[in-house]
Chains A and B, each alone.
Chain A
Amino acid sequence: MIRPMKPKIFYEKEAEKVPFYMSLYQVKEYNYKITPKVVFPYYESEESVVIKPKKPISKLFDYNDQLKIF
């Protein structure tokens, strides 16, 4: 069975509704919104011809509410 790629789904939209499979078995809460937004696109974008790392080389940025990226 061939499984093609498909456009990336943005998780924020999905997280708005609590899916049945979480509530049904009383998993405490669906409190966690995974939001892999493209912030520094060096390992997200696939358009560039430059080969990019598959993971962050370091984790310097503290993605809290105060972090502003221009």
Chain B
Amino acid sequence: MTNSKFFKLFASCIPVKGAKRAVICDIQRKDIYFIAPIIYETIMESEGKNKDQIYQQSKLSQENLDKVFNFLLEKDLGFWSSNPENFPKLDLTWKSPNFITDSIIEIDELRIKELQSILEQLSKLKCKFIELRAYHSAPLQKIEAFLKKCLETPVRSLIINCQYNELINWEEVNRILGTYQRVLSLIFHSTPNGFQRPKTLTSEIEGKDKRVFFINQSINSEKCCGHISAKYFEINRDVFTESQQYNTCLNRKLSIDSKGNIKNCPSMQKAFGNIKNKSLEEVVNDSDFQKYWTIKKEEIHVCKDCEFRHVCTDCRAYIEDPNDLYSKPLKCGYNPYTAEWTEWGNLPEKQKAINYYNMKDFTIAINK
């Protein structure tokens, strides 16, 4: 008796092969499963073959094939079907109606009027998410003026980073968060040793979703950005599909640094004008500005061999070889050829770039 069933992975469970190992990204349930390359090859070779054909033609023994398919069934990653044609692959095309999806604004030195003008322009570009950064202050008044203006815009949510100081009025923080629900997180950096959360931050404000955070790390310049860590991995359909054709960090991102310079990201060296003499729309339509949007992981050295390439959000501002736009992110300590993580600041191949970006002190501080 023949077994004519075909094995199908669920459309949302997509295998990605790395140099040393492979993963199955479950973009529906936001999970990731590590698999050995031989399992990846078995899955690939099984496509279009029924069970009998798979078992006859595979290099693996029947016992090991049973283990492979039992694992996939047990983890609910796939199923046997007599009608595989009914289960096509997922369309991995990425589209967005927003000309700009997210924006970073350094607010330390920008005036309220300038911020409001930036917001009006971002609104026209249908920007959905904004991060405000204050490296050296906690300008609550300026932030509130900005948040008030946000109510009239398509901005859906904001993340705010401020420097902690002892003079912050927590009642004021409570009131602002209570009034402006679009603030997802208010993060105070540079907290002193022995710091404890202020008791006057009321639970009604925080509720189930904590919104105020304090961290001891000092976020004192744009050089703090660009960390590649598993904590930043995002296993979802948006990132997975966007990464097929676009850069998952810079695609449709626009930033304004503290001097008003318009950039892809505050950490990028190149500015495409200043808010004083150029509109954001002009910059967005500049093909030179858009050239970073399409640098996908398959084109980046090393990353193209990494099993995490469709869940990692990259960094183009700080790279291993500043003269090669397609080199690996500087602050990534993962080696896909050994499947090991190490502290990036200690790696010999990074030292030249660390000097180039003048990050020596920065990495020493991290390693302390």
Residue positions of A touching B, CB distance < 8 A: 1, 3, 5-6, 8-9, 11, 19-22, 24-25, 27-32, 34-37, 39-43, 45, 47-64, 66-70
Q: 8 additional contacts, CB 8 Å, given A1-B79, A19-B34, A60-B219?
A: A31-B340, A40-B213, A42-B159, A56-B232, A58-B131, A62-B229, A68-B215, A70-B197
B68 engages A50 (CB within 8 Å): no
Please name all residues of chain A whose beta carbon is closer than 8 Å to the beta carbon of B10 when the two chains form the complex. Answer: 1, 3
User: Which 6 residue pairs of A and B lie closest in terms of their CB atoms, listed nearest first?
Assistant: A42-B184, A51-B156, A54-B238, A70-B214, A25-B36, A57-B131
Chain A nearest CB: distance from B109 CB in Å? 18
> Which of B24-32, B112-120, B167-175 lies on the face that meets chain A?
B24-32
Min CB gap B318→A, angstroms: 10
CB B37 to nearest CB in A, in angstroms, measures 7
Once the chains are docked, how many angstroms separate the CA of A62 from the CA of B215? 10
Q: Given A24-B67, A48-B209, A69-B215, check contact A60 B161 (CB 8 Å).
A: yes
Contact call A53/B157, Cβ cutoff below 8 A: yes
Tell me if A35 and B231 are in contact (CB < 8 A). Answer: yes
Bound complex: CA of A9 vs CA of B235, how far in Å?
A: 13
| Chain B residues in 8 Å Cβ range of A34 | 32, 230, 233
Interface residues of B (CB under 8 A from A): 10, 12, 20-21, 28-32, 34-39, 64, 67-68, 71, 76, 79, 81, 87, 102, 104, 128-131, 133, 156-157, 159, 161, 181-182, 184-185, 187, 191, 195-197, 208-210, 213-217, 219, 224-234, 236, 238-239, 248, 253, 265, 313, 315, 331, 338-341, 343, 366, 368
State whether A55 touches B239 (Cβ < 8 A).
yes
Let me know if A54 and B161 touch, CB within 8 A. no
Residues on B with beta carbons closer than 8 Å to the beta carbon of A32: 34, 230, 339-341
How many whole Å from B96's CB to the nearest CB in chain A? 11
A27 partner, pick from B30, B231, B339, beta carbons under 8 A? B339
B157 touches A52 (CB 8 A): yes
Inside 8 A of B130's CB, which chain A residues have their CB? 57
Cα A36 to Cα B31 in complex, Å, equals 10
* Contact, CB under 8 Å: A70 / B196: yes
Task: Find chain A residues with CB under 8 A from B343 CB.
Answer: 64
Q: How many Å lie between the Cα of A32 and that of B102 in the bound state?
A: 31
